[in-house]
């Protein structure tokens, strides 16, 4: 995404690939990144966000199976919403994770087991986007056990 590439360029870091409509990356920075070896892939379609286009390209063209996205929200609610929408769109085709200073957000479908050091005392939020059936959790302070369809958001602490 070109906004992220602009930040990386300012830090002297070179991404492997830069894609987007390049509305947030100067021509000079784009040329410098290309000269340093970054692959430049224009995706000018304004009907999609740069994140949506980057995820689609990564999955469809590069065959990515796991994608960690850093800095996707930019502290703006509209960016957060569009980033979550992209995770919902692509999260069944690849393990797409939004990462910020608090933790990770990803689409859970099917079963998952979270374990490891550092999990005790952490906050786990489960948010339903659509119908959820037969939700069960174990090992949490307030476990969930529901055999009926749910259309609610649940936060577990």
**Strand 104-106 relative to strand 95-99: parallel, antiparallel, unpaired?**
antiparallel
Q: Looking at the domain assignment, is residue 152 inside a domain?
A: yes
Q: Looking at the domain assignment, is residue 16 inside a domain?
A: no
Q: What is the pLDDT along the chain (157 residues), one digit of tens a residue?
A: 677 888 888 898 898 989 888 888 888 888 999 999 999 999 888 888 889 999 999 999 999 999 999 888 777 888 899 999 999 999 999 999 999 888 889 998 877 888 778 788 888 888 888 777 777 788 888 878 766 554 444 444 4
Question: How many independent structural domains does the chain possess?
Answer: 1
Contacts of 125 (CB under 8 A, 6+ apart): 154, 155, 156
Q: Looking at the domain assignment, is residue 51 inside a domain?
A: no
Question: What is the maximum alpha-carbon separation in the chain?
Answer: 57
Helix (H) or strand (E) holding 52: helix 50-60
pTM score, whole prediction: 0.80
* Three-state secondary structure call for residue 68: strand
């Amino acid at each position: 995404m070109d906004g992220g590439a602009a930040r990386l360029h300012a830090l002297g870091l070179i991404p492997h690939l830069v894609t987007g409509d390049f509305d947030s990356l100067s021509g000079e920075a784009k040329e410098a990144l290309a000269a340093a070896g970054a692959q430049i892939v224009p995706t000018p379609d304004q009907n999609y966000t740069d994140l949506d286009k980057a995820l689609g390209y990564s999955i469809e063209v590069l065959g990515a199976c796991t994608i960690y996205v850093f800095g996707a929200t930019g502290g703006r609610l509209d960016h957060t919403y569009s980033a979550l929408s992209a995770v919902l769109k692509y999260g069944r085709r690849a393990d797409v994770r939004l990462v910020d200073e608090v933790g990770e957000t990803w689409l859970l479908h099917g079963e998952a087991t979270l374990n490891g050091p550092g999990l005790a005392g952490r906050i786990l939020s489960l948010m339903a986007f659509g119908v959820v059936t037969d939700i069960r959790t174990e090992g949490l302070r307030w476990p969930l056990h529901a055999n009926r369809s749910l259309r609610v958001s649940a936060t577990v602490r």
